[in-house]
Amino acid sequence: MSQHILSLHNVSKRFNEKLVLDRVSLNIQSGEIIALVGPSGSGKSTLMNAIMRTLPLSEGTILLDQTNILDYHNNKVYAQKVGMLHQQYDLVKQLEVVHNVLAGRLNRWGIWRSLLSLFKPQEIPLAQSALTAVGLSDKIYRPTTELSGGEQQRVAIARLLVQNPMLILADEPVSALDPVNAHNVLTLLTKLVREHNKTLIASMHSVEYAKTYFDRMIGIKAGKILFDLQTDQVTQQQLNTLYK
Ligand SMILES: Nc1ncnc2c1ncn2[C@@H]1O[C@H](COP(=O)(O)OP(=O)(O)OP(=O)(O)O)[C@@H](O)[C@H]1O
């Protein structure tokens, strides 16, 4: 049996008649830290949304943990396998940080516990330890809106730690941040992924960041994989072709 955490077999996606993913096949092992790179509109977000099950495939199969993603009937169970980090953090800004972090627990709690937690946060030690891991333990009861962009992205990472999925997808996780915050968030994210034995796939606008922080780079152009290599093996010529 395959040991791949994620396998895509001939995955295609059409929007109306437009082919946006064109027979994409790839295998990903547990623990890999992968950057998806490619020009705007090449299909990176579509690929991630397909893995997240927010977009149905036109053709092909995706196996997560050796099971077809369509066979996970329960979204809560699926959320224990895959979590996503968005460019715009996707937090409820009016709530205190603790509630946003504990939102990562919703896939394990029932409705009553989830509602109760809005009034009296449940599992505070769990939230506290996730916030300590991202360097924000002193911000637990602050309104999220008072945090900077970089801090909000770290809250979103703490929420993922609480959610504890095996695979993390990150859609341009630092493109809304300045270079210092982008560096801090990527350093933190890749360190936590390694320490917690997770797998990371991130779409990256910046090839420089992709080279610095990621082990494997997958170049996508017009919905096709142009190269799929260890980062140090990607040549300037391949990058030129990708962005030409
Ligand atoms: N819901 C949709 N309906 C129709 N077309 C779509 C839809 N979502 C994406 N597309 C098209 O699919 C193509 C790929 O988009 P996608 O967002 O996956 O690219 P991307 O590589 O993530 O781009 P970027 O780097 O700019 O985020 C684009 O041409 C886009 O316009």
The Cα 183–Cα 101 span in angstroms is 22
Q: Tens digit of pLDDT for each residue in 122-145? A: 788 899 999 999 999 999 999 999
The Cα 84–Cα 167 span in angstroms is 9
The yes-or-no verdict on residue 1 having pLDDT over 70 is no
Strand, coil or helix: 18? strand
Strand, coil or helix: 23? strand
CA of residue 33 to ligand 1 center, whole Å? 23
Q: Which residue's alpha carbon is at the smallest distance from atom 16 of ligand 1? A: 43
For residue 42, give the ligand 1 atom closest to its CA. Answer: 21
Q: Which residue's alpha carbon is at the smallest distance from atom 7 of ligand 1? A: 15
CA distances from 183 to 3, 147, 174, 241 (A): 32, 18, 8, 27
Pocket test for ligand 1, best of 11, 19, 20, 22 (most atoms within 8 A of CB): 20
For residue 220, give the ligand 1 atom closest to its CA. Answer: 21
Q: Tens digit of pLDDT for each residue in 86-97? A: 887 789 889 999
Pocket of ligand 1 (CB under 6 A): 15, 20, 38, 40-46
Quote the pLDDT of residue 106.
74
Give the torsion sign (CA, 82, 83, 85, 88): positive
CA of residue 169 to ligand 1 center, whole Å? 17
Per residue, the 3-state secondary structure of 70-97, as one string, reads HHCCCHHHHHCCEEEECCCCCCCCCCEH
CATH 3.40.50.2000 assigned to 1-81+166-244 = no
CA of residue 171 to ligand 1 center, whole Å? 12
Which sequence spans correspond to the domains of the chain?
1-81+166-244, 95-164
Quote the pLDDT of residue 114.
66
The Cα 102–Cα 232 span in angstroms is 38
Report how far Cα 54 is from the mean position of its chain's Cα atoms.
14
CA of residue 15 to ligand 1 center, whole Å? 9
Q: Tens digit of pLDDT for each residue in 162-182? A: 999 999 999 999 988 899 989
Please name which of 174, 15, 11 lies closest in space to residue 86, comparing C-alpha atoms. 174
CA of residue 238 to ligand 1 center, whole Å? 22
Quote the pLDDT of residue 109.
63
The Cα 88–Cα 169 span in angstroms is 14
Highest mean pLDDT among 21-35, 66-80, 98-112: 21-35
Q: Which residue's alpha carbon is at the smallest distance from atom 6 of ligand 1? A: 15
Q: Which residue's alpha carbon is at the smallest distance from atom 27 of ligand 1? A: 40
Q: Taking the CA atoms of the chain, what radius of gyration do you get in angstroms? A: 18
Quote the pLDDT of residue 108.
72
pLDDT above 90 covers a percentage of the chain that reads: 77
CA of residue 223 to ligand 1 center, whole Å? 10
Quote the pLDDT of residue 177.
87
Q: Tens digit of pLDDT for each residue in 187-234? A: 999 999 999 999 999 999 999 999 999 999 999 999 999 999 999 999
- Flag whether the ipTM exceeds 0.85: yes
Pocket test for ligand 1, best of 13, 14, 15, 18 (most atoms within 8 A of CB): 15
The Cα 3–Cα 127 span in angstroms is 32
The yes-or-no verdict on residue 117 having pLDDT over 80 is no
Q: Tens digit of pLDDT for each residue in 42-82? A: 999 999 999 999 999 999 999 999 999 999 988 888 988 99
Q: Which residue's alpha carbon is at the smallest distance from atom 31 of ligand 1? A: 41
CB 163 within 8 A of CB 79: yes
The yes-or-no verdict on residue 113 having pLDDT over 70 is no
The DSSP secondary-structure symbol of 142 reads S
Give the torsion sign (CA, 219, 87, 46, 167): positive
